[in-house]
Amino acid sequence: MTETNPRFFRHGPSLLARLVFFVMLSLVLMAADARFKYLLEIRQAFSTVIYPLQKLANVPGTIYDGVSEFFFSGHLADENIHLKQQHLVDRGQLQQLGALEAENAQLRKLLEATQRVESKAVMAEILHVPRDPFNRKVMLDKGSQSGVQPGQVVVDDIGVVGQITREYPWASEVTLITDKDHSVPVQVVRNGLRSVISGTGKDAMLELRYLAVNTDIQEGDSLVTSGIDGVYPPGLPVAVVSKIERNSTYVFARVTCTPVAGVGHNRQLLILSTLTPVTEIPAEAFELKPESRKREKGGVR
């Protein structure tokens, strides 16, 4: 095809050469990004280009919200009554909580255990939900300028949503718990059974892998974070067991769970800004098992 062009009209290398060059370049980029995580600086440079566009893309949604609020404010009175009732209930529970917290601190002091750090939270709004069907991620409108760090936990009013995986100056990327590469250490509330829950890459579906067929777990069991990983604070609701398939020909049961938090329902999320203190692991433990150190480094995904 290109051979039909007159020679003196040609510019630069041929079409095929250019294609091969850019295909190789993108393959190298993909390998560098997926396997070695080298490209954070380049990503941050791109974020400054695309952040104004993302903000601008949100304008119609914000205007719609504002306008609908203005015209349909009739239900505000109802909402107010409801919120007052809710406030009363919450106050009652909060008083109990205060007493329990004081008692807990007292008991922990007696046991000389480490104090649980009270976590502060940063409120953030969902800036953008990517259209990529291969990963479950959202972008939030708070970044390293607001003190957001990778590894912090993101929750909504009901439970765990995900974890910050990349931070940019004014935005941050949250990997949802439903992402196929994401796992959360959990505990069954009913009997304290510990396990790790993993995302499946599908919406509203989580999986408990490697649970033996005869494990004591029931449909409807609620799962909360166990806190033993040092990343997720203990006691945050994560999921409810929705379906268990016990087939005695397999070693493990298939346990499917539904996450309790919904990212689709609300625009506001909370970033818990304090990480729980990790208990120091003695250095000998690393020297004995060198591969465990590697796993620690690549842990946040």
Given candidates 124, 126, 206, 272, which one binds another protein under the rule CB under 8 A? 126
Which segment (17-25, 105-113, 143-151, 268-276) binds another protein by CB under 8 A? 17-25
CA distance linking residue 299 with residue 296, whole number of Å: 5
Q: Is 135 in the site for another protein (CB under 8 A)?
A: yes
Q: Is 148 in the site for another protein (CB under 8 A)?
A: no
CA distance linking residue 149 with residue 256, whole number of Å: 31
Q: Read out DSSP for 94-131?
A: HHHHHHHHHHHHHHHHHHTPPPPPPPPEEEEEEEE---
Given candidates 74, 264, 282, 290, which one binds another protein under the rule CB under 8 A? 264
Within 183-212, the residues that bind another protein by CB under 8 A are 200-202
Q: Is 299 in the site for another protein (CB under 8 A)?
A: no
The CB-side HSE value for 167 (13 A sphere, CA atoms) comes to 17
Give the number of other Cβ atoms within 10 Å of residue 180's Cβ: 15
Give the number of other Cβ atoms within 10 Å of residue 122's Cβ: 17
Q: Is 3 in the site for another protein (CB under 8 A)?
A: no
Give residue 130's identity as a one-letter amino acid code: P
CA distance linking residue 118 with residue 97, whole number of Å: 13
Q: Is 74 in the site for another protein (CB under 8 A)?
A: no
Q: Is 141 in the site for another protein (CB under 8 A)?
A: no
> Among all chains, which residue has been given the structure tokens 């765990």?
160
Q: Is 260 in the site for another protein (CB under 8 A)?
A: no
Q: Is 8 in the site for another protein (CB under 8 A)?
A: no
Q: Is 43 in the site for another protein (CB under 8 A)?
A: yes
Which helix (H) or strand (E) segment holds residue 153: the answer is strand 153-155
Given candidates 3, 7, 8, 11, which one binds another protein under the rule CB under 8 A? 11
Residues in touch with another protein (CB under 8 A): 1, 11, 15-16, 18-19, 22-23, 25-30, 32-34, 39, 42-43, 46-47, 49-50, 53-54, 56-58, 60-61, 126-135, 137, 139, 166, 173, 180, 200-202, 264
